Each structure stands twice: as C-alpha cells, then as structure tokens.
Amino acid sequence: MDPLLKLLTMRARESVDDLAALLDEKPEAIRARMADYERRGVIRGYRAVLDEDTAAEDKVVAIIEVKVTPEREGGFDHIASRVCRFPEVASAYLVSGQADLLLFIEGPDLRTVARFVSEKLSVIPGVTATATSFMLKTYKSHGFLMDPPDEHERLAVSP
Amino acid sequence: MSTNGLPSAPDRIALHVRDIPRSGIRDFFDIVSTMRDVISLGIGEPDFDTPWRVREASIFALERGATHYTSNLGLLKLRRAICEYVARAYGTAYRADDECLVAVGVSEAMDLAVRALINPGDEVLYHEPCYVSYAPLVRLAHGVPVPVPLSGATGFRLTREALERRVTPRTKMLILNFPNNPTGAGLDRADVEAIAAFAIEHDLIVLSDEIYAELTYTGRHVSITTVPGMRGRTVFLHGFSKAWAMTGYRLGYACAPAPLIDAMMRIHQYTMLCAPILSQEAAVEALKGPEADVALMREEYDRRRNYLVRAFADMGLPVSEPRGAFYVFPSIAGLGLTSMDFALRLLEEERVAAVPGTAFGASGEGHIRCSYATATDDIKEASVRIRRFVERLRAR
Ligand SMILES: Cc1ncc(COP(=O)(O)O)c(C=O)c1O
C-alpha cells in the first residue's frame, strides 16, 4: 500500500506540508496523489473516530446477519445494493459462514431499529432470515482502544 | 568522621569507582525532572508499549509458573530462537549450545565481554560520540578507554584512518556501535570491510553493539560478523530493548565463539546467575511471532525521522541524515553556545529537552541529540519551539 494511504488512515488531519515532511516527499507530489485517490474513489472520505459510548448517547447500533437466496443473475450483489441504499445501514459486508450479509444498522433507539428490520429488511424478496444483535459497549473501534491510556512513569531523559 | 561513625564515605570508595564520572545524561535528567510541561526529545527508549503478543506471552508464562532460575546461559529454546534469528536476519550462524549467552540487557552482556577479555592496562578503542557506558565499563575492568573522535562533517562514519591514529601495541579491543546512539550513523559494507581489515591486521577483538540493527531506514544493516575472518574475533551483542520496545524486560544477548562465551558465562554465573525467566519467555515470543509489529514501529520512526531531519534542515542547522536508531544529531555549532548551554537555555526558554552532545563524549560538542522515540505531535511542537529559539539566537 502507498505509504501516503497508510499514513492518512492514521493521521488524516495532517497538513499537506506535514504529510510531505513525514514521508520525505514534496508537498506538490502529496497534493497530486491525494487528489488522484479522491477522484478515483480510493479515498472515500475522512472522518473522526469517536468513542461513541460517550459522544453519541442517542444512538443504537445493531449487527444483523442476513441470509439471502442469491439470484440467478447478479448473485448477492443485487440484493445487497438494495439493502445498502437504506440510510440506516452504516456498513454492509458479504461474509462466509452461516449468514451471507453482515450489516451494521444505526438508529436513534431500539424500537426504530427493530422496526427497520421487520418492516424494511425482512420483506425484501430473497431475504430468508435475519438475526439481530444489539451493540452494548465499545472496547475498540477502528484500531483505537476505548480504555483510558495506561499511565507510566517514563524517564524524561535516558541514555 | 561522619555522624554515623564511619570514616567519610569517599575514602571508602574504591579508587577506580571514584574516578568514574556521573553520566552526563543523569545530570541533565536531574534538571529536567524539576520542570513542568517539558516536551522531551531526550528519551533513549521506545515510546511504544511492548507488542501485546509479547506481554500476553509473559502473562501466560507467569500463570504456568515460570518463576524459577534458568540455565546460566539462558533457556535453551530462547538461545535456539536467537541463533535462528541472527542467522536469518544478519547472516551469521552460531550454535545455541555454547555460542550464545542470554544476559540482563546488552548492558550486562557488554560488561561481561569487557571483563572477560581485558587485563589491567589493555587499551580499548571506541568511536565517539557514543553510548555512555563504554568508557566506564572499560575503566571498571582496569582497562584504558581510548576514544576515536568522529566528526559530523563526515556523517560520523568510522574510517580506518581514524582508527589507525589511535591504535597502539597495547590495543586489545575495539567497540563498535552501528546504527549509532547518539548520531544515527550507519555503515555500509565497504565501511565495515575496512574496519574489519583493521581489526584483523592489529589482531583485535571486536565488541559489536548492534542493538539498533532492525531500526535501519536507509540501506540494509551489515553486521561485521559477516566479513570473512571476523566471526572468530567478534562478540555480537544484541537485545530486545529497542526494536521490540522491551527496555523494562532487561534482556539482551551475546553471540561469540565458544571460548569467549564460556569466559563470559563464568562471570555471569556468579554475578547474575541467569537473566529473569519471565523476560526470557517473553523474548521467545518476540522472536518467533510475526514481525508486523516491529515493522509498524520502524515505519513510524522513519516518518518522524524524515520530519525532524527536514525541520532541522529548514532551520539551517547542519544535520547528517541518520541511517538508523531513533536519534537526530544536528549541529548547533554556528550559534555561539556550547551544547550544554544550548540545551539548558532551550529547556528554560522553550521547555524542550534535548541532550547536549557532550553527554556522549567530548567530540559530541557542537551537537544536540534529539530522540524521535516521541509522539509525532510532540515532535511537531518541539520543532516549532526549537526553530523559535534558534531564530532568537541568530537575531542577537
Ligand atoms: C547503543 C546502546 N547499547 C546498549 C544499550 C543498553 O541496552 P539494554 O537495554 O539492552 O541494556 C543502549 C540503550 O540505550 C544503547 O543505546
């Protein structure tokens, strides 16, 4: 992977000059590559990683495993794209194992999410079963531990 | 007489210990530790925590009751893992049975090697600026430390000519440390071969402290043990403190021909008995597991290195590109202050701690050591402050 992409996944808010300094490149080169990645959709966006338990009290997340009957033409993709267009669906993956699709659904409360599953998701032709789990607590998200950082007595100067 | 009835303490201290100066780093540390809100670029250890797989392996070992002594040389499974690793990574094969000794850090391994090999009055060459322990260890063994000064103008590379100027018929040993603390200098194969030829011609034993070998960013690390004729006269020293971020585990090792390891073991068995078993168990995991975590840390250091080198260049401070370790050693010679005064004033006026070059020997004068084993945001803020300070000095 391009070191620029790797760095952006960790420190997207660095200025172009600082990205260039960290990667020992010219700012113009960085600016051009970022524009190219954005244009081609390799980079889809930049966002903050929140401790959602603290930051978003009025939000519930459900993980839904969905079994579907693949269609003769289009396989899983057609149904998946129909599912994904609902704004309630935050992420969606095709997975191996018992279920076929794994969805992360977001809503303001349990009832809204439950209603979405029963009234919108389950009734899509081809969806044969769903299993819903509600997220209770976040321990780690996008590589970030949600625990407070460990405190150490680190020497301020050492050889 | 002091109040407790003993003769005044200094008289009781052995002469060769009385002569050992306090480490310049300690003095500086004492000043820094009285101040608040300091950004420290003075830290010679990784800011990363030990990879979790290694910590988890330590917990598991503790649960299984790994709380006993080990063989003097160290756990055989660890010595096997070390010898496999050294052969794979650096190209020299050692026998786990009798050519490898596990010690409490490179610190202890180095001490053992010096004590096992030095007779009173033997001269030991070491290049300077350098890690703080070499000269004191030689003195404690009643040897004579002979620094070989290196200069920033040549990127702190060690040349045969510099060595030839200091060698005498009493020279017995040469201590090497590349990648280097504090300069970050590294050697390529041609440099290493020239040094090896020198060591062979003068029949010297080489102690090669390669503790930063994995943290090489430009080119590949070349171990002097791979030069023909060197394996038999070299003690290869390495450990887990740096690349695996395991400083507190206190674990290092020596690989060398069996008679040398045996001599070192005879000291180690009485002074240390063995290295802590928990650390040894953790080290087995460090070596056998995936190296992705080591690679991630190296990539992060590399980015910070790029940033700092560019920052100093932008300030107009001459800096030779460090090839390894996690230090930048810019020159502040043109600013009219000694390194000690520069470091003290930088600390007082801008709350940034950088270690004066003279802590690493007289030839470090005119430089400061800035460690990039520090979070990127701190490095960025420290760069802003150093620049402000340098501009003020220039405006005087
Ligand atoms: C060049 C060098 N050698 C040896 C050591 C000590 O290493 P250890 O923790 O293995 O005793 C250090 C630590 O800073 C070092 O920089």
Same domain, residue pair A67 and A109: yes
- HSE-up of residue B223 (Cα within 13 Å, Cβ side): 26
Residue A142 counted as domain residue: no
Cα radius of gyration (chain B): 21
Find the closest chain A residue to B370 by CA distance: A157
Helix (H, G, I), strand (E, B) or coil at A56: coil
Find the closest chain A residue to B311 by CA distance: A21
pLDDT for the residue B1 = 44
Nearest to B240 by CA among B293, B301, B174: B293
Segments of chain A scoring below 70 in pLDDT: none
Task: Say if CB B327 and CB B183 are below 8 A apart.
Answer: yes
Which pLDDT tens digit goes with each residue over A21-51? 999 999 999 999 999 999 999 999 999 988 8
Residue A155 counted as domain residue: no
List alpha helices for chain B, DSSP H: 9-12, 15-18, 24-32, 52-63, 76-90, 105-117, 134-140, 160-164, 189-201, 258-271, 277-288, 292-315, 339-350, 376-395
Instruction: Check CB contact under 8 Å for A23 and B303.
Output: yes
Residue A147 counted as domain residue: no
What integer best gives the mean pLDDT of chain B? 95
In degrees and rounded to multiples of 5, residue B145 shows phi and psi of -75, 130
| Structural domain count, chain A | 2
Beta bridge pairs of residue B125? B146, B174
Contact B184 CB / ligand 1 (< 6 Å): no
Same domain, residue pair A65 and A115: yes
Which pLDDT tens digit goes with each residue over B49-106? 999 999 999 999 999 999 999 999 999 999 999 999 999 999 999 999 999 999 999 9
Which pLDDT tens digit goes with each residue over B323-379? 999 999 999 999 999 999 999 999 999 999 999 999 999 999 999 999 999 999 999
Nearest to B24 by CA among B120, B98, B146, B128: B128
Check whether B394 has a pLDDT greater than 50.
yes
Same domain, residue pair A72 and A116: yes
Strand B171-176 relative to strand B205-209: parallel, antiparallel, unpaired? parallel
Residues B318, B321: Cα–Cα separation, whole Å: 10
Same domain, residue pair A91 and A120: yes
Residue A148 counted as domain residue: no
Give the CATH number, domain containing residue A75: 3.30.70.920
| Alpha-carbon torsion angle B33, B39, B44, B47, nearest 10 | 110
How far, in Å, is the centroid of ligand 1 from the Cα of B371? 14
Tell whether B299 is within 8 A of chain A (Cβ): yes
* Dihedral-angle region of residue B235 (phi above 0 means left; psi in -120 to 50 means alpha; beta otherwise): beta
Residue A110 counted as domain residue: yes
Same domain, residue pair A35 and A70: no
Q: What domains are there in chain B, each with its CATH number?
A: 9-49+293-395 (3.90.1150.10), 52-288 (3.40.640.10)
Instruction: Check CB contact under 8 Å for A154 and B43.
Output: yes
For A16, the domain range is 3-40
Same domain, residue pair A93 and A29: no
Same domain, residue pair A71 and A126: yes
Tell whether B201 is within 8 A of chain A (Cβ): no
**First CA to last CA across chain B, in angstroms?**
52
